[in-house]
Amino acid sequence: MPEERDPDRAASRAAARARIEQQQTWVDVQIRQAMERGDFENLPGHGKPIEGLGAEHDPDWWLKKLVERENITVLPPSVALRKEDAELDDTLDRLHAESEVRAHVEDFNERVIRARYSLSPGPPLITMPRDVEATVAAWHERREARRAARPAPAVPPSRRHWWNRGRKQSEGGS
């Protein structure tokens, strides 16, 4: 009865219904063309059962798949800081300027101090902040040792320019 009172509303609903049917037809045409091209052949998992089908719904399924696919490890802060402390010298060796090294060590120290004063789950934090000056001095020493161990660059042969080619030959031949 309400549709009889509002003919514009009935017309808009009919138009919407027609658009949906047309869209479904368009989607069906696209799928059929893709099947004819063979786009759905040799897909990964072909012939295998769908993993997790029939199991209980897990709202965090996408997060668990992301962690599995990207090989992400989630560690308690104390363990993560301990691991970062063990790899800190190698990380610093990849930096090129003393200011970058100093900023990285200061950031590490801030995170260690913040973790010391917070109640975090996991094992206790045994990592101590680094002495910035001593760490920067050690970085300088390692950098100089790498530079000293690097072989000296070979002297490139002298290049003769095309306009001097004849001159060298005539000087040598005379």
115/100 Cα distance (integer angstroms): 23
List the domain range (segments joined by +) for residue 128.
Answer: 77-149
Q: Are residues 91 and 140 in the same domain?
A: yes
Looking at the domain assignment, is residue 155 inside a domain? no
Do 20 and 82 reside in the same domain of the chain? Answer: no
State the pLDDT at residue 174: 46
Give the separation between CA 96 and CA 151, rounded to whole angstroms.
19
Q: How far apart are CA 149 and CA 141, in angstroms?
A: 12
The band of 109, judged by pLDDT with boundaries at 50, 70 and 90, is very high
Within-domain flag for 57: no
pLDDT-derived band at 71, boundaries 50, 70, 90: confident
Query: Structure tokens of 125?
Result: 């934090």
83 with 33, same domain: the answer is no
pLDDT of residue 88: 95
Residue 172 lies in a domain: no
pLDDT at 172 over 60: no
Local structure of residue 55 (DSSP, 8 states): S
Same domain, 142 and 89: yes
pLDDT higher at 63 or 6: 63
Q: What CA–CA distances, in Å, run from 9 to 1, 17, 19, 67, 123? A: 12, 12, 15, 49, 65
Residue 71 lies in a domain: no
Q: What is the pLDDT of residue 151?
A: 80
Do both 81 and 137 map to the same domain?
A: yes
pTM check: above 0.85: no
**What is the number of domains present in the chain?**
2
24 and 88 share a domain? Answer: no
Q: Cβ distance 54 to 63 under 8 Å?
A: no
What is the pLDDT, as a whole number, of residue 121?
79
Residue 112 in domain: yes
Q: Is residue 51 part of a domain?
A: no
Write the CA distances from 89 to 32, 75, 83, integer angstroms.
Answer: 58, 21, 12
Going from the C-alpha of 121 to that of each of 57, 76, 85, 115, 150, the distances in angstroms are 28, 7, 19, 11, 46
User: 131 or 59, which is more confident?
Assistant: 131
Name which residue leads in pLDDT, 169 or 67.
67
Residue 114 lies in a domain: yes
- Mark whether 30 and 85 lie in a shared domain: no
| Shared domain check, 21 and 81 | no
Return d(Cα 108, Cα 82) in angstroms, integer: 11
pLDDT in tens, 85-98: 999 999 999 999 99
| Residues 33 and 84 occupy one common structural domain | no
Does residue 156 sit within a domain?
Answer: no
Q: Are residues 82 and 142 in the same domain?
A: yes
Average pLDDT rounded to a whole number, residues 139-160: 82
What's at 129, amino acid-wise?
A: P
DSSP for 62-131, written as a single string: HHHHHHHHHT-----HHHHHHHHHHHHHHHHHT--SHHHHHHHHHHHHHHHHHHHTS--SSSPP---PPP
Compute CA 60 distance to the chain's CA centroid, rounded to the nearest angstrom: 22
pLDDT of 41 over the 70 cut: yes
